[in-house]
A and B are shown apart, each in its own frame.
Chain A
Amino acid sequence: MMPDDDPPDELDLDAAEFVLGTLPPVERMRFEMRLRNDRLAQARMAWWQRRLAPLIGLIEPVEPPAALLERIERSIQRQGRPARGKVFVPLHRRIWNNLSLWRGLAFGGVLLAVAFGGLLLVRPLPQGSGAAYIAILDDPGGNPMWLVSADPASGAVSIDPVGRMSDGELVPELWLIPAGSPVPVSLGVLNPDARMAMALPAEHMAGIGGGAMLAVSLEPAGGSPTGRPTGPVVQQGRIVPYQP
């Protein structure tokens, strides 16, 4: 199930602002995620792409130097097709005791590839502290499943389901693994069908910077009975600063 909590008009105006280029960074990323599976979002983006494309007629053409096409063709020959997915990560419970492994699994630099509808956007995430933090939680196949964004100033955390989870008895529970701490902190049970908002307690807010991770494990209905993950870890992602 995809989230469907936005009224159609909001979705359409988000698509319009996405094409126009004014959608703010976190909303932009949320929309990109939505484009992966949501045919309505794809259709509205295509509509606005076509409708706004004539504006390029306002822009003076600039003749590229002859060498540029050769450079592009050389790059095509040199580089292979960029990988769409990420490394397969064998998830195992012992991973909880191995933070260096967690770190090693992180996005590998500051490039974050978000593939959707045939477009691949490679979006650099600036280093250093920013106004917002985000994390994209992937499944072992590299498919994004959750987009989490946090505003450290207010403690507001927003969680969007962006993939399809298989149905089952177990429920997804979100865990924060602060940098330098092997102890996961439960942030609660997630709703796979709708965007969720939560307030992160101040004592955890300090733990989200500096390489912290988020992970989702599958737990019995109501959440882990022990306060620690008891089921398999099915998605994970590193928290990174994000700013325009």
Chain B
Amino acid sequence: MRTADLMVSKDADDSPELLNDLLVQVGRRDAEAFRKLYAATAPRLLGAALRIVRRRELAEDTLHDAFLRVWWHADHYDPAKGAAIGWMITILRNSAINHLRKAGRERVVASLDADEDGDLLERIDAVPGVSAADRLSLVHCLGQLEPLHRRCLVMAFADGWSHEELAERLGQPLGTVKSWIRRSLARLRTCLDA
């Protein structure tokens, strides 16, 4: 276990409030809260950036830019509207997509291959800031989807792939992939709302 994960692991699962509070404090320009927030989230966010941009240096630039935005815009974060971790993931992913567009994407082999899919749902770790209830219901509802549709969603999120890249990777027509994603998201919403 990494030290950064360890720092918040006591409170990790089921405690989005801890990160939410830190982010609110960051909004008041609290440098110490910023360091704690960084320690709690940077390793996952760097992992996420690396999955999308593929190059270590670019991933670190992505994380750098994302945390600058977190610092400057945390005062707009409203815990009543959503969890800090989701807010930060969106910033991170936008930063990653910007870096990709500047640097050009390398063609790479899918990192989530078909044979990996079997245990995919068991591999969703607890992460600081994500509540256990949210994690379990997402695992349950993803489990209701067709395996191939589920892979589409997961690859889009994890690898930052577009409709076109997914279609190429899965050897499916573009229209098919688009409708899989739309239909799967609608089913996911119904299941998560239940």
Q: A residues engaging B (CB < 8 A)?
A: 9, 12-13, 16-17, 19-22, 24, 42-43, 45-47, 49-65, 68-69, 71-73, 75-76, 79, 81-82, 117-124, 126, 244
Contact = CB atoms under 8 A, between A and B. Distances in A.
Contact of B68 (A43, A57, A76): A76
B157 A55 contact: yes
A211 to B, nearest CB: 21
B138 A64 contact: no
B83 A50 contact: yes
B38 A69 contact: yes
A121 B181 CA distance: 24
A69 B42 contact: yes
Contacts of B15: none
A53 B50 contact: no
Contacts of A121: 94, 98
A132 to B, nearest CB: 14
Given A13-B186, A24-B163, A62-B50, A54 B60 contact: no
Contacts of A82: 72
Given A21-B93, A64-B42, 4 more contacts: A22-B181, A46-B81, A59-B44, A120-B73
A81 B75 CA distance: 12
Contact of B82 (A13, A46, A58): A46
B185 A56 contact: no
A123 B98 contact: yes
B33 interface: no
B170 interface: no
A56 B38 CA distance: 16
19 contacts: A17-B181, A17-B185, A21-B157, A22-B181, A46-B86, A47-B82, A53-B127, A54-B134, A54-B138, A56-B89, A57-B130, A58-B124, A63-B2, A63-B46, A64-B43, A119-B87, A121-B94, A124-B102, A244-B101
A9 B123 CA distance: 31
Given A24-B162, A49-B89, A57-B127, A65 B60 contact: yes
A51 B43 CA distance: 21
A120 B123 CA distance: 32
B99 to A, nearest CB: 9
Interface in B68-99: 68-69, 71-73, 75-78, 81-83, 85-87, 89-91, 93-94, 97-98
Nearest to A39: B81
Given A21-B156, A62-B59, A49 B82 contact: yes
Contacts of A76: 68, 71-72
A73 B32 CA distance: 11
A58 B120 contact: yes
Contacts of B138: 51-52, 54-55
Contact of A63 (B31, B43, B51, B98): B43
Given A46-B81, A62-B59, A69-B42, A57 B124 contact: yes
A59 B158 contact: yes
A55 B162 CA distance: 17
A70 to B, nearest CB: 11
Given A54-B124, A56-B130, A124-B101, A119 B90 contact: yes
B68 A79 contact: yes
B158 A53 contact: no
B28 interface: no
Contacts of A42: 81
A52 B157 contact: yes
Q: Among A12, A46, A58, which residue has the most Cβ atoms of chain B within 10 A? A: A58
The 4 A-B residue pairs with the shortest CB-CB distance, nearest first, are A118-B76, A49-B86, A46-B82, A61-B43
Q: Among A47, A56, A120, which residue has the most Cβ atoms of chain B within 10 A? A: A56
A121 B76 CA distance: 14
